[in-house]
Chains A and B, each alone.
Chain A
Amino acid sequence: MAGQEQQRQQRRSDEHEVDEVEVPTSTTDAPTASDVDDLLDEIDDVLETNSEEFVRGFVQKGGQ
């Protein structure tokens, strides 16, 4: 994946003679398991007790 990114930056600078080859830095860190776990710990408060029945009962009429 990193190699592909390198190539992309290279190609972009070639085509447009952009001076700075800025590698945009992510404002986000790679997800960690504990982030998700926090919300998963609460998920039973939120989900319907009988998921199967809830999903089956979610029937909509078509719209635009």
Chain B
Amino acid sequence: MGIETEYGILAPGRPDQNPMVLSSQVVNAFATRPGSRVGRARWDYEDEAPLRDARGHDMSRAAAHPSQLTDVAASHGGAMPDLEDPATANVVLTNGARLYVDHAHPEYSSPEVTGPRAAVVWDKAGERVMQEAATRVGSTPGLGEVRLYKNNTDSKGASYGCHENYLVQRATPFADLVSGLVPFFVTRQVVTGAGRVSIGPDGSVPGYQISQRADFIEVEVGLETTLKRPIVNTRDEPHASADRYRRLHVILGDANLFETATFLKLGTTALVLDMVEAGTLPADLHLASPVRALHDISHDPTVQAKVRLADGREVTALDVQWAYLEAARAHTAEREPDDATAARETEEVLRRWEDVLTRLGRDPALCHRDVEWVAKLRLLDGFAAREGVTWGHPRLAAIDLQWADVRPDKGLYHRLVARGQVDRLVDDAEVARAVDEAPEDTRAWFRGQCLARYGSAVAAASWDSVIFDVPGRGALQRVPTPEPLRGTREHVGALLDASATARDLVDALTST
């Protein structure tokens, strides 16, 4: 699993700045920081297929919106990235992540991890990457200050995403994924929402809602990610062996700063996917109007909103979440865990999930330490009471934006953490290490180590390849990594230790 986050970007006092250029400054500032081993590695687009639809067909390139053609950079070819061209600001980091410009935002795509706790660690590392990059841009002669925000909308009609990715077995019918996931996705926002001031894509209705992203979701199922956004996205681009796996690309979630929110978002979704694959989900939770239910639930911070099921029953988001939790408890009890660590982590997901649902049912205000939308609402309510203002006041909208500012001294989330008012799951030293180091138990480790050890010889890399340019070989040498759970430290650590140079490594790989 992994998380990709597009950050909001602003050049204070310079509204005419091109956001693509600003975003490329952010990427390049991090790629060229002192001691960086990112080197000249470009992104390898060979296996990208953004128009492959999981329902079994491809969209034609001619029919696609230009924003869907994510498999081509504006200028292809040439080993050295052009640091002035925003379209080629696209690098692979030693922690296995991808840092690049997606549309008009800097994006950090975390390395592949095997559990929700590691997902939190490498997602938090992404926040640090963005903080450091923005600081570097601001201190670079000739460039101005750039601010970054981990949120999903400007409340003027634009939204940018925080996508989750999960590896699922190809054998699972896509229709089963859709029917199992939709009621879960529509209702999980009460646990994972980041909170938003104002209602409607353009923010024209004063108020507060649970989710940043909900109002931008318009259809139940679809391929698009930039328009007509769906609850379940059908992009079928596994970045792995396509005959064995698909990658579920989840686009409806909020970008979360709260660690518990990210932990539960990834942990509960992975459990639900396990249940889809095993056929152990409750079958009676289909919603009559999923998109409308998504919006209605988001617009009711009392979490009492009722939505209609296809069988006519009316239920709350909490009712649906309890049904999934109970099914997950039963499912987990009947299965042998992969190992003790995974079992403990699953138990923690179940325990925290139940704890949050219980408190949300008693009084959402009890969740101010671990549910992000509740914590933000509490601050806004306090401010509104003190200043005597109501929804629609610009100071409240400013608090919403300032919540997501990545700067530790200016972001309201960070100020709340500094006061000890937010539950943490991971420690700062671990996150700091994850800025440079890849997870050891996925192929991200091979990718990250290749950059860390042989950076100058890595011409390009992607999720499923590392491409070397080594002396003595005329052509570039492409090492495919189609199996996400190979290329781990256990699997290739000794080989890398025995290879002093990239040439040694390529020789060893091609001689077997």
Contact = CB atoms under 8 A, between A and B. Distances in A.
Q: Do A and B bind each other?
A: yes
Interface of A: 1-2, 4-5, 8, 12, 15-16, 23-24, 26-28, 30-31, 33, 35-40, 42-43, 46-48, 51-52, 54-64
B128 interface: no
7 contacts: A5-B361, A23-B358, A26-B366, A54-B398, A54-B401, A59-B15, A63-B158
B358 A40 contact: no
Sort chain B's interface into a size bin. 35 or more
B362 A1 contact: yes
A16 B330 contact: yes
Contact of A64 (B6, B326, B355, B395): B6
A62 B394 contact: no
A23 B402 CA distance: 36
A61 B368 contact: no
A39 B362 contact: no
Interface in B380-415: 381-383, 386, 394-395, 397-399, 401-402, 410-412, 415
Contacts of B351: 24
Nearest to B9: A60
A63 B227 CA distance: 9
A8 to B, nearest CB: 6
Contacts of A58: 8, 10, 154, 156, 401
B359 A26 contact: yes
Given A4-B361, A26-B359, A62-B103, A38 B419 contact: yes
A42 B402 contact: no
B386 A63 contact: no
Given A15-B326, A61-B158, A27 B415 contact: no
Given A16-B326, A28-B370, A60-B154, A46 B415 contact: yes
A55 B159 contact: no
A60 B421 CA distance: 30
Contact of A8 (B67, B322, B421): B322
A51 B394 contact: yes
Residue from the set A38, A48, A60 with the largest chain B CB neighbour count within 10 Å: A60
B104 A48 contact: no
A5 B102 contact: no
B15 A57 contact: yes
Interface in B60-98: 67
Contact of A47 (B102, B251, B402, B419): B402
B350 to A, nearest CB: 11
Given A5-B361, A16-B326, A47-B398, A64 B102 contact: yes
Interface string B1-29: 00000101110000100010000000000
Contacts of B334: none
B224 to A, nearest CB: 9
Contact of B103 (A12, A27, A52, A64): A64
Given A37-B382, A61-B158, A5 B362 contact: yes
A61 B19 contact: yes
A24 B360 CA distance: 12
Contacts of A47: 395, 398-399, 402
A28 to B, nearest CB: 5
A64 B402 contact: no
**List of 7 A-B pairs having minimum Cβ-Cβ separation, nearest first:** A63-B160, A36-B382, A61-B104, A51-B398, A52-B394, A60-B154, A64-B225
Nearest to B68: A64
Nearest to B398: A51
A46 B369 CA distance: 21
Contact of A40 (B329, B367, B386): B386
Contacts of B424: none
A64 B226 contact: yes
Contacts of B395: 47, 51
Interface string B155-170: 0111111010000000
A27 B383 CA distance: 25
Nearest to B6: A63
B320 interface: no
Given A33-B382, A51-B394, A63 B103 contact: yes
Contacts of A64: 6, 67, 102-103, 160-161, 163, 225-226, 251
Contact of A62 (B15, B226, B379, B412): B226
